[in-house]
Amino acid sequence: MKTVWHGGTIYTMRGESETVEAVLTEAGKIIQTGTYSSLMLLADEQQDLAGAVMYPGFIDSHIHLIGYGELLLKRTVQHVTSAEQFLAEIREEAAQLDGKEWLYVDMWDENKMARIPSIEELDAIYRGPMLLRRVCRHVSLTNHAGLEKMNITEQSVDPIGGAYGRDINGRLNGLLYENANDVLVELATSDVSEQQLDNMLCLAIDDLVAHGITGVHSEDLGYFGHYTKSLGAYERIIGHQRYFRAHMLRNHRVFSDMIADGVSFTNPFIEAGAMKIFADGSFGGNTAYLREPYERVNTTGIRIHSDKELAQWIDLARTHNTAVAVHAIGDGAIEQVITALERVSAVTMRDRYIHGSLCMPEQIERLAKLNIIVDAQPVFLLSDMPWVAERLGPERSKHLYPWKAFLDAGIVLGAGTDAPIERINPFETIWAGVTRKKIDGVVYQPEQCLSRYDMLYMHTRGSAYTGNQENYRGQIAPQYDADFTIIDRDLFTCSDEDILTTQVVKTVVAGHIVYEKNT
């Protein structure tokens, strides 16, 4: 059935300010654009935009989709501002449990508290194991029952690429960093059922389409037990119970198994992506790997892999004609990544530098020569400033989130949120990129602000290009996917403040209306 979409402003994103009057779709694809008078003659049905504004479907270029659904089910504490409040939330959660099962609390942030609760305080609340995940998810807090599950004692030596937190007397304090954190998370989440995974995925998709997101690039296949569990949820839900697009990064820990198992991606709504590698941690946990120590802290963070190990992972990806997508927050981490990639040939699938958080001008020049995509999360600036600048000092902080510098060097950017780390609202992401302004009015490095077109490009064509989808997704043009984000205002002409209050009218995936705002 042919459908004509008309009656509003339709931005194609093929060029700045380019619009068409109407779009004709059939079988999930755009078959023609042009005037309403000509296309209505070919249509079987009409969709009147009633003055709304239509863009190519927004794509979130970096998310953990099932992890976001999990967050929607868990107790979160991003609102707490003291250790006492945090403990009260944990106490309420403990009252609902039997004393043996895992206790989960998510999204704590020590930057909002004067101190972190002690392991003794946690032990006094609950005798079972705890998984209390920091907002960055690179650090967790647990009690002695959780440490016992991991077989960690006072004599335990820090794992490679991770660390066990200790107090001033050298005793374990329940904090777990990077690879140590990963072990705790795996223990606590590996027994999640298929039904729970399906539920998490549905919850996440329903929330995303309500925010105008038509597809994501997701990294879930290294979590919740064997990779087949998460992949099975995607196969059962997407294209069947939900119309949605998923480009799947493959965690380096499961990549070889997936190759050996001959995993194929035949579902037209699910695609295989690059090998995902973590090079370092986060600024919040002081685990992002820096070339020079943090201010007032005698550490340069945590380097997850040695140079040799990182090179081996990249070589494995290249053996299978696959790109790598590397999480690198600190300038030390991206230096390691650049050096490793300079020794190998590129492949058709594009390598990506995930986050682009702290990158020096000379490193940007080297990245441009490698044709690496920067997978950016502008909303990080709203969460991280000003405390991250204080940890890095005035000189280094000038090079935080240098989005304009990346574009000026000819580097393509995708736009994502890293949810559940951050909020999934694309309009908040666009606001952050355009204004670099906190709600309190402070603007950080205004010379790095992006234009409206830059940000909308990142959320459409840029994110499609990041996943090698630029020939069939991210634009409104014939033979492209009929994925649309339809909203109540023109993001090219509204005020900066109005960006934040944008309302989604409809979200369309493969020609199907998957979300419609109640009138």
Tell me the β-bridge partners of 166.
172
> DSSP 3-state assignment of 440?
coil
Can you tell me the distance from the alpha carbon of 71 to that of 220, in angstroms, rounded to the nearest whole number? 13
At 190 the pLDDT is 87
pLDDT in tens, 84-124: 999 999 999 999 999 889 999 999 999 899 999 999 999 99
Can you tell me the distance from the alpha carbon of 117 to that of 113, in angstroms, rounded to the nearest whole number? 10
Given a cut of 80, is residue 81 above it in pLDDT? yes
Tell me the β-bridge partners of 373.
352
Average pLDDT over residues 249-263: 97
Tell me the β-bridge partners of 23.
5, 33
Question: Residues with Cβ < 8 Å from 16, sequence gap 6 or more?
Answer: 453
Can you tell me the distance from the alpha carbon of 300 to that of 85, in angstroms, rounded to the nearest whole number? 31
Query: How do beta strands 130-134 and 103-108 pair?
Result: parallel
Strand segments, DSSP code E, in 380-421 are 413-415
Average pLDDT over residues 116-134: 96
- Which DSSP category does 107 fall into? E
Given a cut of 80, is residue 439 above it in pLDDT? no
Given a cut of 70, is residue 509 above it in pLDDT? yes
385-417: string of b/e by CB count within 10 Å (b at 16+)? beebbebbeeebbebbbbbbbbbebebbbbbbb
The DSSP result for 441-464, as a single string, is: S-BS-GGG---HHHHHHIIIIIHH
Given a cut of 90, is residue 289 above it in pLDDT? yes
User: Element (H or E) spanning 251, and its range?
Assistant: strand 245-251
Given a cut of 90, is residue 222 above it in pLDDT? no
Percent of the chain surpassing pLDDT 90: 95
At 296 the pLDDT is 87
Q: Within a 13 Å sphere around the CA of 22, how many CA atoms are in the beta-carbon half?
A: 22
Domains for the chain: give ranges and CATH numbers: 3-51+481-516 (2.30.40.10), 70-189 (3.10.310.70), 279-450 (3.20.20.140)
pLDDT in tens, 466-499: 999 999 999 999 999 999 999 999 999 999 999 9
Which pLDDT band, with edges at 50, 70 and 90, does 519 fall under?
low
Which pLDDT band, with edges at 50, 70 and 90, does 249 fall under?
very high
pLDDT in tens, 359-392: 999 999 999 999 999 999 999 999 999 999 999 9
Contacts 24+ apart (CB under 8 A), 382-385: 382/428, 382/432, 382/438, 382/439, 383/135, 383/422, 384/283, 384/284, 385/438, 385/442, 385/444
Can you tell me the distance from the alpha carbon of 310 to that of 313, in angstroms, rounded to the nearest whole number? 5
Average pLDDT over residues 66-92: 95
Q: First vs last Cα of the chain: how many Å apart?
A: 26
Cβ contact 249:65 at 8 Å: no
Strand segments, DSSP code E, in 71-170 are 103-108, 130-134, 139-141, 162-166
pLDDT in tens, 330-344: 999 999 999 999 999
Cβ contact 402:359 at 8 Å: yes
Cβ contact 128:101 at 8 Å: yes
Tell me which amino acid residue 164 is: Y
Given a cut of 80, is residue 440 above it in pLDDT? no
At 438 the pLDDT is 83
Give burial (CB, 10 Å; 0-12/13-18/19+) of 203. Answer: middle
At 505 the pLDDT is 98
Mean model confidence pLDDT for the chain: 96
- The vertex-139 CA angle with 70 and 401, nearest 5°, equals 90
Given a cut of 90, is residue 441 above it in pLDDT? no
Query: If you compute the radius of gyration of the chain from its CA atoms, what whole number of angstroms results?
Result: 23
Tokens of 487: 């909203």
- The vertex-78 CA angle with 72 and 80, nearest 5°, equals 130
